[in-house]
Amino acid sequence: MLLEMAESELMHKNFYTVCRAGFADDVVFIRQTDDRPDIYYSDLHAQSGRIANHLTELGLTKGDRVMVQVEKSPQNLFWYFACLRAGLIYLPLNTAYLEHEIEYFVSDAEPSLVLCDPQKQPLIDNFASCPVHTLDDQGCYSKELPTQTDFKDIECADDDIAAILYTSGTTGKPKGAMITHANLLANSRSLSDAWQWQKEDVMLHALPVFHVHGLFVATHLPVINGSTIILLSKFKPDEVIRYLPESTVYMGVPTNYVRLLANPGFNQQACKNMRLFTSGSAPLLVQTFDEFQNRTSHTIVERYGMTETGMNTSNPIDGERKPGAVGKPLAGVEVRILDDDDNPVTDASPGNLQVRGKNVFKGYWRLPEKTAEEFTEDGFFRTGDIASLDQDGYIAIMGRDKDLIISGGLNIYPKEIEAVIDKIPGVLESAVIGLPHPDFGEAVTAIVVAEENRKDLTESSIISQLKSQIAGFKVAKQVHFVNELPRNTMGKVQKNILREKLNPQ
Ligand code: MCA
Ligand code: AMP
């Protein structure tokens, strides 16, 4: 099995080179929809080689950042693997990000090349000091690629950075998580093993490819095993149901499962060849878990991860998959639960979850102090999640120590939204909270204190201002106006009171 490969394998290779040893050229890498031709692993190798040559000809060298904000396509994945091969740092961005958000990422990451959709090019050109090239949703690149497909892969050490993924922060400014080639390898191997991945597995891929979930978990597992991916450009329930019978593995966030269950065409017949359904990125409600089991006779494998750590725990393939639990630590991942005084919790009470292992990232980009704060002296990463451990060794995520909303599997930091609302003329202050939502799990909800007589400030005016400034998924679904925000004696806004008031149980 993969886990038995020597750990020193990466010492002179990059993550792609290790994958390359496991895939065969004549196997289909991507099965496309709409009768478009299959793409083979030989194509992945040749096309990523051409792009890697091109990037080298452009003068990019090891450690340079390539920022990518494009629609999902096979070519998008060629670019990702090309960067790994050339020792460049791949930096994917959510396609929903707007001007100010992108400008921040460009200034913080200082990329040597930006690849974006053609419509965004003029905008990004305004503030980027590097070249801005385009890749459209059909995979057409704005420049000519060299014909040379051979490329001598760049050697990488274990802690060379493969990718930077931005994750929002409680301070309101997103932080770049530096993920190494060794992190990618360790996590792909442990997951392959835990989920008993077979070469013959067919991955139905409907996740975005700018997060750990879609880019690493759902792409790496097929690639490191040389399996086929059916690549859907985005999640559409009818399309997923159409391609499920040809697949064996599906990975989703809870919202994907809620939406599949809402579709009458989602039934046992559609799932007849399926081996594995996994869920993560947000808590899976027991209700969804049960309904799924009743409808399909399949039991979802819930797992738990983070951008900074990749996957940490998973329910088992063999053995009980407990609803409401995220399973046991993956091979090579150490997990501990501590109380607020840093003493180990020895019973099933909730405490602060910390993790250590080869899966854990190198640190935050250009933020050594923040990085040091998030690690303990003995090298555990503080996840900010509150967890408990039951007598069978299963972990359950009970809550979060961080002020974070997870909506449809996407993280939203209230502080960032509050900062935008507070700048709207006539707003005195605001608080942003997550309230239970049947589709998104949690819905962003804003509570606003306005100046007296500001009749122009309405729910829709606040929402439209937000829409013009931040990505759509972060925009408040509801806005409530109050005379004042509840505060404790220290002056801190009591968000629990707001939650209770707006969502009485
Ligand atoms: C879209 N909208 C949302 C969200 N997504 N609102 C709240 N929360 C969301 N997640 C809004 C849009 O702004 C838009 O608003 C309207 O919904 C329709 O937009 P559309 O793009 O058509 O949305 P959709 O296709 O319905 O997308 C919903 C989705 C998507 C499929 C659930 O958000 C998604 O793919 N989520 C998964 C994200 C993911 O992969 N997360 C993993 C990251 P309007 O109509 O007002 O304009 S976490 C991770 O990687 C860690 C490590 C882990 O553990 O996995
Ligand atoms: P991100 O920063 O986008 O990588 O999101 C990571 C966070 O998502 C974790 O710290 C958890 O709070 C949450 N998360 C991921 N998977 C699960 C899960 N299965 N159950 C509960 N929360 C989860």
Please tell me if the CB atom of residue 418 comes closer than 6 angstroms to any atom of ligand 2.
no
439, 255 contact by CB (below 8 A): yes
Specify the domain boundaries for CATH 3.40.50.12780 within the chain.
2-388
Please identify, by atom number, the ligand 1 atom nearest to the C-alpha of residue 407.
8
Contacts of 343 (CB under 8 A, 6+ apart): none
- How many residues are present in the chain? 505
DSSP E strands, 323-391: 328-329, 333-338, 351-357, 363-364, 381-389
Q: Is 234 in the pocket of ligand 1 (CB under 6 A)?
A: yes
Phi, psi angle pair for 170, to nearest 5°: -65, -20
Q: Is 198 buried (19+), middle (13-18) or exposed (0-12) by CB count in 10 A?
A: middle
Cα separation values, 236 from 139, 201, 263, 411, Å: 20, 22, 11, 21
The H or E element containing residue 18 is helix 15-20
Note whether 280 and 253 are within 8 A (CB): yes
Residue whose CB lies within 8 A of the most ligand 2 atoms, among 166, 167, 304, for a mutation test: 304
**What residue ranges of the chain are covered by domains with CATH 3.30.300.30?**
405-502
Task: Give the architecture-level CATH label for domain 405-502.
Answer: 2-Layer Sandwich (3.30)
Model-level pTM? 0.95
Rounded-to-10 torsion of CA 37, 42, 43, 45 = 160
Q: Is 257 in the pocket of ligand 1 (CB under 6 A)?
A: no
Question: Does the domain formed by 2-388 have CATH 3.40.50.12780?
Answer: yes
CA of 257 to the centre of ligand 1 (A): 13
In order along its 505 residues, the chain shows pLDDT tens digits of 444 444 555 767 899 999 999 899 999 999 999 889 999 999 999 999 999 999 999 999 999 999 999 999 999 999 999 999 999 999 999 999 999 999 999 999 999 999 999 999 999 999 999 999 999 999 999 999 999 999 999 999 999 999 999 997 666 689 999 999 999 999 999 999 999 999 999 999 999 999 999 999 999 999 999 999 999 999 999 999 999 999 999 999 999 999 999 999 999 999 999 999 999 999 999 999 999 999 999 999 999 999 999 999 999 999 999 999 999 999 999 999 999 999 999 999 999 999 999 999 999 999 999 999 999 999 999 999 999 999 999 999 999 888 899 999 999 999 999 999 999 999 999 999 999 999 999 999 999 999 999 989 999 999 999 999 999 999 999 999 999 999 998 889 999 999 999 998 7
Nearest ligand to the CA of 211 is 1
From the CB of 352, is ligand 2 less than 6 Å away? Answer: no
402: buried, middle or exposed (CB in 10 Å: 19+, 13-18, 0-12)?
middle
Q: Which atom of ligand 2 is nearest to the CA of 411?
A: 3
Report the alpha-carbon distance of residue 68 to residue 75 in Å, rounded: 12
User: Could you tell me the distance, in angstroms and rounded to a whole number, from the CA of residue 159 to the centre of ligand 1?
Assistant: 32
C-beta neighbour count of 173 within 10 angstroms:
16
